[in-house]
Structure 1
């Protein structure tokens, strides 16, 4: 049973409260509705230029009911940073006037946005407008919070093998594209390494803007390079490797550090000392929004969503990054060939974390007949189960799969 609620031009059913109805798309009674949804998903996957914008909802799928929580939500990160020193945390909120900027959630409660708080701290410190005591506390909190976020989001080694199924299939199905299609581009606001591990699990090669030398330094020119198999270069369509994706970590990563020489990646024994790279742009437009690597990644996103025959899948993303929101809404206004699907948990809930303004814009556009848009209420796992697998395994992959099955049977006997 796959219980999903969705809203698109081909299916605009709502209940008495105006909320799209939840249906079991595997039930024959709902065949017409399921067909409309799957048709949109198929068009998305087959687009010449496929972009994924992934938020924290993709990582929260690792949290299984009845088991200890593995991946933290933004609310969890807020709580864990507050619990480092509650008195200091509350003092920092007052010092940077957090409540004046953040506002409240739809239910009237405090909006707990850890990225916004860190952004405000970064904004206030250079101004030297705080008292000596407050300046020290804000500085200490900022350093401690970054260390804590790295600790909390370094969870991939705690995820059991069987819990990688959704991520592995997501990367494997969408990543192996036809030679006529553009490379899959995954933009993510997550700090964790979930997509990197899933790529490794499925034999995908990740181009993430870092040089292949050691130590690995960020160089956006690498996004313009590709990889070919020289032994097949003379064969028709056989030169470019099929298993390559581009990964843009828009808000930084737990394994990035900034030094005076640039941004480097921490890999294995190659540790580089420097400042953790967390980029949390807010409506205050702090200057880090215009520095590399954020500027390079936003420029790539802006350019990509304006290309013809483009499909944008926003998965597990609540549209709470104003910079990304503006790029998407602008693309919808100016690119007639773009299609956008927002698939996450509780996008229709008035009390949820999904951006209310974006929800209203999308729903109104769909109601007016815009067939380029779809909003889906489901978990990451459920959405992945909807994806059609266009990839036909090569003889080498078939042989490898058979070999792995033999090894697995041998280990069980």
Structure 2
């Protein structure tokens, strides 16, 4: 979020300087919506802008509306960085360790608030079937019923079916850079042009938007998943700042005694990088503080890891042996024909 603050501020200043007479620069915009300049929080700023649009009039309102459009467009560009064959070794290794499961186990479910396509591309490179709620048509169209379908392999001409091993479910809780809502049908498609982006942008209205489709389906699946018996929840890079996601987790911890949770973040404990320091997320976030207290009190279901995604992946148990298909794909990729 800090990077977005700097990038969007520079874009706003550039856009203001490009007009004659000069438009509203970033500092002037902060003043017009009442956002303190020292608080570099793009989510709080976007929230103030939406609020300001409801009471400003004339030119000030137009400037705020233009800024919101500029910021949202930049967020889409900044998160749309995954290209074909984009190197994603950490995501690929995580899927190799976690997504390949025996037939007796349910499919791994990945819930992400990120807009990018890292898991889709890592899944494609690893020859996984990624079940994301979209149809296998052109264009792919969202329908939550696809999450209930299973991908199986038929054994010859018999009536026996085996679930394929390389498959996982992907729930993008805040939308994706490649989703568009088509008008007037309201259908949500992928890889199409002309529709409206389907994203929950960073602002305090995220909770209300989460009750619209397709987010409602995703949130519902998440709430169901954390209440399943004998389930494990791995939380990586989520700061517990979104109440509509943090509250279901805390509720499940209180009621689901068979659930185990591992929280991974490089800033859980107090940090000091030489130029700046902080108390750590376990001190500043009420939900993480509660989890830390429960773990310290002896709740063996809760584990907190003060590290990043890259450092965490090697600790994921590598239980399933590498398949012939995976070895074959790796060989093809090494010689550049995969």
Q: Is the 8 A contact 1:217 1:263 kept in 2?
A: yes
Evaluate the alpha carbon distance shift between residue 323 and residue 396 of structure 1 in structure 2; reply closer, same or farther with a 3 A threshold: closer
1:348 aligns with 2:264: no
2:163 is matched with 240
Counterparts of 1:267-278 in structure 2, within 5 Å, are: 267=191, 271-278=192-199
The two structures have a TM-score, normalised by structure 2, of: 0.84
Q: How far is the alpha carbon of 1:151 from its aligned partner?
A: 1.5
Q: Is the 8 A contact 1:306 1:331 kept in 2?
A: yes
Counterparts of 1:236-315 in structure 2, within 5 Å, are: 238-260=161-183, 261-267=185-191, 271-280=192-201, 283-284=204-205, 287-315=208-236
1:135 is matched with 61
Q: How far is the alpha carbon of 1:282 from its aligned partner?
A: 5.3
Which residue of the other structure, out of 161, 168, 174, is the alignment partner of 2:98? Answer: 174
Q: How far is the alpha carbon of 1:274 from its aligned partner?
A: 2.0
What SS does the aligned partner of 2:250 have? helix
Counterparts of 1:129-208 in structure 2, within 5 Å, are: 129-157=55-83, 161=87, 164-208=88-132
Q: How far is the alpha carbon of 1:393 from its aligned partner?
A: 3.2
Cα shift readout 1:93-151 (whole Å, capped 9, x = no counterpart): 4454445xxxxxxxxx94433234334444554x4x22122221222112111211121
Counterparts of 1:60-71 in structure 2, within 5 Å, are: none
Q: How far is the alpha carbon of 1:275 from its aligned partner?
A: 1.9
In 2, the alpha carbon distance for the partners of 1:278 and 1:110 equals 27
What SS does the aligned partner of 2:110 have? strand
1:113 is matched with 41
The two structures have a TM-score, normalised by structure 1, of: 0.70
Q: How far is the alpha carbon of 1:368 from its aligned partner?
A: 1.0
Which residue of the other structure, out of 287, 304, 313, is the alignment partner of 1:384? Answer: 313
Q: Is the 8 A contact 1:314 1:341 kept in 2?
A: yes
Q: Is the 8 A contact 1:172 1:204 kept in 2?
A: no
Q: How far is the alpha carbon of 1:352 from its aligned partner?
A: 6.3
Cα shift readout 1:25-57 (whole Å, capped 9, x = no counterpart): xxxxxxxxxxxxxxxxxxxxxxxxxxxxxxxxx
2:257 is matched with 336
Evaluate the alpha carbon distance shift between residue 89 and residue 289 of structure 1 in structure 2; reply closer, same or farther with a 3 A threshold: farther
1:76 is matched with 3
In 2, the alpha carbon distance for the partners of 1:349 and 1:158 equals 38
What SS does the aligned partner of 1:303 have? helix
Size of the aligned set, in residue pairs, is: 318
Larger deviation, residues 224-233 vs 137-146? 224-233
In 2, the alpha carbon distance for the partners of 1:232 and 1:352 equals 60
Q: Identify unmatched segments of 5+ residues in structure 2.
A: 14-23, 272-277
In 1, the alpha carbon distance for the partners of 2:176 and 2:48 equals 20
